């Protein structure tokens, strides 16, 4: 059974407010996705760098990190 109570019906102002909030949410979500993708790229580059340096010295990556990288 369908109810016709006024409190259950969204007016144009409610709809516009919802759409604005949703657009804001999507903008922030896209920014977070972009930031995460950049972080993953930097992490991959860093890992490859350490692997290359460890290979040059003919040591394991774990040893290279322990001896030459300050955390």
Cβ contact 53:64 at 8 Å: yes
Closest CA to 54 of 46, 62, 44, 45: 62
CA atoms within 13 A on the CB side of 20: 6
∠ CA 36-38-44, nearest 5°, is 100
| Per-position pLDDT tens, the chain of length 71 | 455 555 678 899 999 999 999 999 999 999 999 999 999 999 999 999 999 999 999 999 999 999 999 76
Closest CA to 55 of 38, 34, 32, 47: 47
């Amino acid at each position: 059974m369908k109810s016709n109570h006024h409190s259950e019906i969204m007016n144009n102002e409610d709809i516009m407010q919802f759409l604005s909030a949703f657009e804001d949410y999507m903008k922030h979500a896209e920014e977070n996705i972009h930031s995460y993708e950049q972080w993953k790229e930097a992490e991959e580059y860093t890992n490859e760098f350490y692997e290359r340096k460890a290979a040059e010295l003919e040591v394991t990556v774990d040893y290279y990190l322990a001896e030459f990288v300050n955390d």
